[in-house]
């Protein structure tokens, strides 16, 4: 009974997340080596300042630059980061691929990332996002949990 009570008590970040939408987080960039995507949201308290949230798309771990996260509290940026990633246009496109298309797209994106890393020391942003989206969709279809906590 105690576990049920603690599960229903909202945490500060997830409680405020209901007043926000994942579209408030703007996609910034991706890193296909570390499987991390970054989103940004303008600060509501400080004009001109932007809060940045990083999401590991394979583990679901997040890190945010806002004041709540710096104090060790969950924030709405972290609570909505996975939803923002799942709503990204490339992620939605990859979700429509059949298995053969998914494999071909993932292999091509991986190949392109390797080629550009050798040539200019950096992947093209579109290739990084496609590779991460393919990895996420592949794991979703295979039933691999997003995080160790979900197992």
pLDDT score, position 22:
80
Highest averaged pLDDT of the listed ranges 46-55, 82-91, 103-112, 120-129: 103-112
Q: For 61, list phi and psi in degrees, rounded to 5.
A: -70, 145
pLDDT score, position 146:
56
pLDDT score, position 14:
53
pLDDT bucket at 20, cuts 50 / 70 / 90:
confident
pLDDT score, position 6:
32
Cβ neighbours for 93, distance < 8 A, ≥ 6 positions apart = 133
pLDDT tens digits, one per residue of 97-148: 999 999 999 999 999 999 998 998 888 888 888 988 898 889 889 887 654 4
The pLDDT of 56-69, averaged and rounded, is: 89
Taking the whole predicted model, whether its pTM rises above 0.85 is answered as: no
**35 Ramachandran zone, left/alpha/beta (phi>0; psi -120 to 50):** left
- Give me the helices (H) in the chain, please: 2-8, 12-17, 67-70, 76-86, 89-94, 99-120, 125-142
pLDDT score, position 33:
85
């Amino acid at each position: 009974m105690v576990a049920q009570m603690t599960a229903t008590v909202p945490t500060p970040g997830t409680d405020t997340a209901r007043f926000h939408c994942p579209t408030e987080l703007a996609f910034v960039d991706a890193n296909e080596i570390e499987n991390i995507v970054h989103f940004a949201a303008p600060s509501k308290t400080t004009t001109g300042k932007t809060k940045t949230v990083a999401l590991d798309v394979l583990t679901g771990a997040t890190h945010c630059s806002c004041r709540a996260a710096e104090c060790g509290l969950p924030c709405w940026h972290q609570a909505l980061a996975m939803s923002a990633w799942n709503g990204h246009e490339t992620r939605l496109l990859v979700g429509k691929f059949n298995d053969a298309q998914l494999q071909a797209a993932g292999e091509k994106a991986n190949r392109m990332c390797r080629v550009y890393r050798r040539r200019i020391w950096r992947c093209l942003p579109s290739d990084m996002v496609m590779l991460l989206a393919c990895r996420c969709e592949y794991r979703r279809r295979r039933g691999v949990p997003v995080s160790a906590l979900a197992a």
